[in-house]
Each structure stands twice: as structure tokens, then as C-alpha cells.
Amino acid sequence: MTTMQEAVAAAERCTPEFRRDPHAVYARLRDAAPVCPMSPPHGNETYLITRYDDARAALADPRLSKDMYGAMDAYRRIFGDSSVALDDNMLNSDAPKHTRLRRLVNSAFTPRRVAALRPRIEEIVRDLLDGCPTREPFDLLPVFAFPLPIIVICDLLGVPAEDRARMQHLSTTVAQTGFGEEAKRAQQQAEGDLHAYFTDLITAKRERPADDLLSALIAARDNDGGLTEGELVSTAFLLMFAGHKTTAYLIGNAVHHLLSHPAQLRAVREDPELIRAAVEELVRYDGSVESATFRYATEDVEYGGTRIPKGALVQIALSAANRDPRKFDAPDELDVRRPGNAQDAHLGFGHGSHYCLGAPLARLETQLALTRLFERFPRMALADPAGGPRWLEVPFPAFRGLAELPVVLDPAG
């Protein structure tokens, strides 16, 4: 990679080289074009932000809107037609609507509810590890990293066990934006199916409330009343969608990087208390939400000396911000003992009013998954193919995750 233009082009096209090492490209962009106008197909009015200070400020800037409806034209340029019905939720709205939706969901999604999940998550982790082959190489993603968050979020919401596989399939299909006409049709079909599924489930929970989050959301009220039917459906969808792949990919990235950094893994094994800090560092180092977070400018704004015109889309590269040497010493090193890597130092869970609502749950799941996996299989090793790990290929850098994670749990067993 020689020129800046090539760096921009690689980021836009998500070339295999870029997927293998987006951080090298982001380093160039941070230095030479920290607020970088992207060319078609993203449209001339999309700007990519890569420096930490700009990213943090942009995430909390009220002039940069998250309102999908207001941004519809700009949004369609990248995502195509998307199901507005499912997207009518807090992630895609501004205050005061955002404040109301988030408050209502927060009242049901309490720290107590998350903490109470610990024994259940322990049990799920144990059962999944019981089902893994120990001696031969296998892909850890479909048998461990993915099922864990999908079971947890289904249990939490009150989705019956027999529907889990369908939920996993539908939310994966919905996430496959932009892979041509056929994928788009499948995506729209999946959105319709999810909408119908949650509408029916909400009707059933209204008739027979249970001790689950969906029943609590139906009952949640504030001074302005409760969630409308449409908001309930789109909130259930958001929790399913946001709570699933993000965590699965983080677990995969974390296992891969710890196995590739034996001294770091040893430190975590020797001091189990270190797992909390280690997970924060792993989110910083290679988190699962790469730059899938968009805003659009409701007025002209200026970032890093670049004018972003009203109506432009602003794409914030969280992965780039989290490796900014202006903020983190030796940012390309994985250091589970990194001083000052507090939960809110990195931007892997966002920042400001849209800060990830599920972060406590994602942290708990990842901490327990890593702790139990490495405790139970002390000789575990990567079984990567000769060409090295295969990273996910997506049409724009949404999620950062592995396409597969071949491992052997007990090579000498």
C-alpha cells in the first residue's frame, strides 16, 4: 500500500488485504486524512472519522443525528432499502424519542437482571464446552462463540428454546446487507419473518406474562405511557440483533488473539481477576464493531479541519480510534495489563447517549466464556490453515470478526 488514495480505496472496497489487517490502513488514514471523504459507491457525502478525539466527540455530538427517518436518503445509499418497521428503535433515534425509549428499556434491563444471568451463563458455557471435540481440530465459532450469545439473548427475552436456531438464521440473514439482489430479497424476507415472529410472541406474552425481558418491556411504563406495539417489536429485534453477532465475534477475536499472544494468555491464567481488564483490552485491540456506527449531519459541522456538509453521512471507525497512538501508548500491542484501560477509555461500545445498552451483558458473557474455556483446556491451540486466519468479508467494514476459528482443545490428550 503506497498512497493515501489506495488506503481509502482499500477501506471502501474492503479488499481481502484490508480484512486481514484493517489497522494498517486505518493508521494511514488517521495520519493523512483523519476525516476522509469517501468516493462512490459510498457517495461523495460520506466521511470516515478515524482519530480518537474526533470519534469520541462525534459519537456525542447532537448535531450528528442517529434518526434513520431523517437520514433515509443518505442511509439508502449505503444500505439500500431497509425495513423501517424493524429499525424504529432507540439506536436509530434522537432525543427526546431516544431518551424515552432507552429509559423504558433500561427500567426492564436492570443490572439485577443481568447479574442474575451469571449462573445460567455458566451453565450454558459448560454445556457447550461438554459438546466440543477435544482431540481433533474444529471450528469454535459455530459450536461455542455463536450459540452462547444466541442462547443467552433468547433466554433473556423469553424466546422459546425451539425457536433459537430460527432466530440465529434470521438475524444473520438480516445482517447480510449489500451482497446483491438475491441476498437483498432474502434479507427483506427475513426482516418480514422477524417482524411477524416478534408480533406473535408479544401477543402471547401479553396473554401470559412470564419472568422475562419481553414481558417486562410490555409492562414498562413511564409518565408518557409504555412502548407502542411497533416500538416493542423493533426493540425486541434490536436486542436480538445487537446482542448476538457482536458478542459472538468478540469472543472469537478474543480467543484468537489470546492464543496468538501466549504471554498475555499466561498472565490471564495466572491472575483470574485480570479477566475484566483483559476483556476491555481485547475490545480496544480488536473489537467486533469496527465502523458500523453512522450519524448524519443536521447542519454543517467541522471535524479535524474538514467541513462536513449538512446531510452528509458520518461513519465513525471505532477500531481506528481504539488504535490511535495520540490516545493509547503502543496501541498495536495487546497488553492485558495496560494501565488506565478503564471501561470508558476505549470506544468499542460507543460513547455518549447511545453507549451500548448491553455492554454489561456482553462483558459478562465474554469474561465467563474465556475464563472457562482456558481453564478447562490449558493446552488449547490454534489450528489455522497455512494462509493464516480467515477474516469475515463484508461489503463495508461493519463487524470485525473471523470467518472461522479452527482450534484443537487438547492436542496431547
Shortest distance in whole angstroms from residue 328 CB to ligand HEM: 17
CA–CA separation, 267 vs 372, rounded Å?
15
Shortest distance in whole angstroms from residue 307 CB to ligand HEM: 22
Residue 203, SS3 per DSSP: helix
- Alpha helices for 294-356 (secondary structure H): 318-321
Shortest distance in whole angstroms from residue 101 CB to ligand HEM: 8
Given the complex with ligand HEM, which of 236 and 265 has the nearer CB atom? 236
Shortest distance in whole angstroms from residue 67 CB to ligand HEM: 11
CA–CA separation, 374 vs 268, rounded Å?
9
User: What are the grid coordinates assigned to 312, written together?
Assistant: 452528509
Query: Which window, 3-11, 30-38, 281-289, 369-377, contacts ligand HEM (CB under 6 A)?
Result: 281-289
70 φ/ψ angles, rounded to the nearest 5 degrees: -65, -35
- Alpha helices for 90-180 (secondary structure H): 97-108, 111-115, 118-130, 140, 147-157, 164-175
Shortest distance in whole angstroms from residue 24 CB to ligand HEM: 22
- Alpha helices for 220-327 (secondary structure H): 229-242, 245-260, 262-270, 275-286, 318-321
Query: Applying CB under 6 A, which of residues 159, 227, 250, 398 lies at the interface with ligand HEM?
Result: 250
The angle formed by the CA atoms of residues 374, 377 and 382, to the nearest 5 degrees, is: 80
User: What are the grid coordinates assigned to 34, written together?
Assistant: 483523519
| Total residues found in the chain within this entry | 413
CA–CA separation, 70 vs 311, rounded Å?
9
Q: Is 168 in the site for ligand HEM (CB under 6 A)?
A: no
Q: Is 22 in the site for ligand HEM (CB under 6 A)?
A: no
Shortest distance in whole angstroms from residue 219 CB to ligand HEM: 18
Q: Is 357 in the site for ligand HEM (CB under 6 A)?
A: yes
Q: Is 34 in the site for ligand HEM (CB under 6 A)?
A: no
Shortest distance in whole angstroms from residue 271 CB to ligand HEM: 23
Query: Applying CB under 6 A, which of residues 190, 289, 301, 368 lies at the interface with ligand HEM?
Result: 289
Q: Is 293 in the site for ligand HEM (CB under 6 A)?
A: yes
CA dihedral of 332, 333, 337, 338, whole degrees rounded to 10: -30
**Cβ-proximal residue to ligand HEM, closest one:** 358
Given the complex with ligand HEM, which of 259 and 318 has the nearer CB atom? 318
Given the complex with ligand HEM, which of 11 and 357 has the nearer CB atom? 357
Question: Residues in the site for ligand HEM, rule: CB under 6 A?
Answer: 59, 90-91, 102, 153, 238-239, 242-243, 246-247, 250, 287-289, 293, 318, 348-350, 354, 356-358, 361-362
